[in-house]
Amino acid sequence: MKRIIPLVLVVALLATNTIRGTAEESLRFGRFGAVTLYRESPHPSHVILFVSGDGGWNQGVVDMAKSLASLDALVVGIDTTHYLKELAASNERRSYPAADFEALSKYVQKKLDFPRYATPVLIGCSSGATLVYATLVQAPPTTFLGAISLGFCPDLLLKKPLCRGSGLEWRPGPKGKGFSFLPAKALEAPWIAFQGTIDQVCDAAAVQSYVKRVRQGELILLPKVGHGFSVPKNWMPQLKQAFLHLVERHEPARPPQPPEVEDLPLEIVPAQGPESDTLAVIVTGDGGWGVTDRGLSNALASHGIPVVGLNSLHYFWTRRTPEQAARDLERILRRYLDAWKKEKVILIGYSFGADVLPFMANRLPEDLFARVRLVALLGPSQTADFEFHLTDWLGGSRSTDYPVIPEVEKLKGVRLFCFYGEDDEDAICKDLDSKRVKIIPLEGGHRIGRDYEPLAEAILKEVG
C-alpha cells in the first residue's frame, strides 16, 4: 500500500492531566514534533488541527484550544515555529503540508482508537492562519472539511515554496522575503477569515478585498479585536458558531442505504443519460472518496454507467480480511445488480483500492465473477493490507502485508487493465505479464491528473 509520508520517529504518548474537564495529552509525530491534544470525551465527534502563531504553543492558544474542545472536538495543538523549521531543513525542493496534516490527523485518531475516521477542520492564528489557508488550497477537496484563519495575512516567511497541489499560487513576499499566496479561484472547501478591525499587522480592508476573490471564502469582521485576539469575549462566541456551522454544512443528511448494505461506507453515483447494462464498483484510495474516485465515477456515469464507491478510508479503518472484504463486495454486487437491473460489472481499484481489489475479486462466488467484464487497477503497489495501521503514517513495512502480483496472476478469465503514472516508482504495472494485462502509462506520478474522460473511455472501449 502507499505510504502518505516517510516518517521514522519515536512516538510517545505522555502523561494525561485533566483541567476543568478537558483532558490534556501530548505525543510526537514527524515534522510536527510535540503536539498537544485536548478532548472532553474519549472519542469526540469532530477533529480540529489547531496551528499556533509565531509565538509557538503558548498559553494564549492553549485557552483557545480548550474552549474549542468543549464543542465535542478533539483539538490537536501544533507549534507553527517548529513545523516551519522542519520544512526549511528538509531536502524537498517544494513542501506539501497538506500530506503532513492529513497524516497527523489519521495517526492521532488511530492512536486514540477512534472507531471511524473524522475529517478534520484546520484552524490557525497569525502565521498559522496563513499556513492553514495554503494547506487547504493545495489539498485535494475532501482532505479537510474547511479552514478558519484568525488574523490572516497572505504572506508567510518560508525558505522554499510549497507545492501547488490543487491550485495554490503565490508570488514573492514583501521585500522579496517568503511568499505571498494569491486568492484561490477554484477552492472547493470553505475558508473563513476572522479579522479584527483594529489589527495593526494585517489590514482589515486589504483582507476584506482578498477574501472577496477567494471562491468559498467568507470574512467575519470583529470590532475591538486586534492581531493578538486577546479578549475572548469579543470573538470566541463567533468562532464557536462558525465552527459548528462549518461542520454541520458538511454533514448533510444522507438517504438511508438498503438494509443489505447499510453498514458499508458507500457512495452512489447515478448514471446520466441512456443507461447501459453495466455497473461499476470503485474501491477508493486511502484518502477516501477523493478527487480521482469522484472524477472517474462522474466520467463513467456520463456514459450511462452507474457507480458504487466503497470508501476505503472508512471501510478499512477497522481490521478486515480478504475473505470478509470479498463477502462485502458480494453484498454490494448482489444488491445493485438486482436493484439496477444490470448484467455486467466493472471492478476498479485506485491506489490502496488497487492493492486490495485483486484479493476481493478472486474470492467472489463463481456466478458473480462470471459477470465481471473488466478489473481495472489504477496505481497498484507491491503489497496490500486490509487495515490501516499506525505505521502507515510512520513509514516501514509490516509482516501482515500481502504480495499483490501473485494475486493479480490468479485472476483468470477476466480482462485486466493496469494504469500507472510514468513517474510513479511504486506502481507494479510494468512488472505484470503484458500478455495478460493491458498496461497503460499515464503522464505524471501516483496521483492521476484531473482529466478522467480518457480513463473512462479506455475502460468502456474494452467492455464494449
pLDDT, tens only, 200-211: 999 999 999 999
Comparing C-alpha atoms, which of 86, 64, 94, 404 is closest to residue 243?
Answer: 64
Same domain, 300 and 364: yes
248: Cβ contacts below 8 Å, ≥ 6 apart:
none
CATH number at residue 328: 3.40.50.1820
Residue 348 lies in a domain: yes
Residue 2 lies in a domain: no
The whole-chain average pLDDT of the chain stands at 89
Same domain, 233 and 266: no
Residues of the domain holding 199: 17-249
Same domain, 350 and 392: yes
Q: What per-residue confidence (pLDDT) applies to 396?
A: 52
Residue 283 lies in a domain: yes
Sorting pLDDT into bands at 50, 70 and 90, what band is 183?
Answer: very high
Listed residues 203, 230, 249: the one ending a domain: 249
* 435-450 as b/e: b if 16+ CB within 10 A: eebbbbebeebbbbee
Listed residues 222, 249, 276: the one ending a domain: 249
The answer to which of 27-36, 204-213, 393-402 has the lowest mean pLDDT is 393-402
Average pLDDT on 369-392 reads 87
Sorting pLDDT into bands at 50, 70 and 90, what band is 9?
Answer: very low
Residue 339 lies in a domain: yes
Q: What per-residue confidence (pLDDT) applies to 444?
A: 57
Whether residue 289 is predicted with pLDDT greater than 50 in this model: the reply is yes
Same domain, 423 and 292: yes
Q: What per-residue confidence (pLDDT) applies to 10?
A: 33
Same domain, 299 and 242: no
Residue 178 lies in a domain: yes
Average pLDDT on 137-142 reads 92
Number of domains in the chain: 2
Q: Tens digits of per-residue pLDDT, 252-281?
A: 566 788 899 999 999 999 999 788 999 999
Same domain, 326 and 391: yes
Same domain, 264 and 358: yes
pTM: 0.87
Same domain, 336 and 211: no
Same domain, 238 and 275: no
CB atoms within 10 A of CB 408: 26
The answer to which of 208-212, 374-378, 395-399 has the lowest mean pLDDT is 395-399
Q: What per-residue confidence (pLDDT) applies to 449?
A: 60
Same domain, 125 and 23: yes
The answer to which of 200-214, 390-404, 419-433 has the lowest mean pLDDT is 390-404
Residue 123 lies in a domain: yes
Sorting pLDDT into bands at 50, 70 and 90, what band is 47?
Answer: very high
Whether residue 36 is predicted with pLDDT greater than 60 in this model: the reply is yes
Same domain, 85 and 207: yes
Q: What per-residue confidence (pLDDT) applies to 450?
A: 65
Residue 446 lies in a domain: yes
Listed residues 249, 272, 307: the one ending a domain: 249
Average pLDDT on 345-349 reads 97
Whether residue 22 is predicted with pLDDT greater than 60 in this model: the reply is yes
Same domain, 185 and 221: yes
Residue 151 lies in a domain: yes
Q: Is 179 exposed, middle or buried (0-12, 13-18, 19+ CB in 10 A)?
A: buried
Q: What per-residue confidence (pLDDT) applies to 1?
A: 39
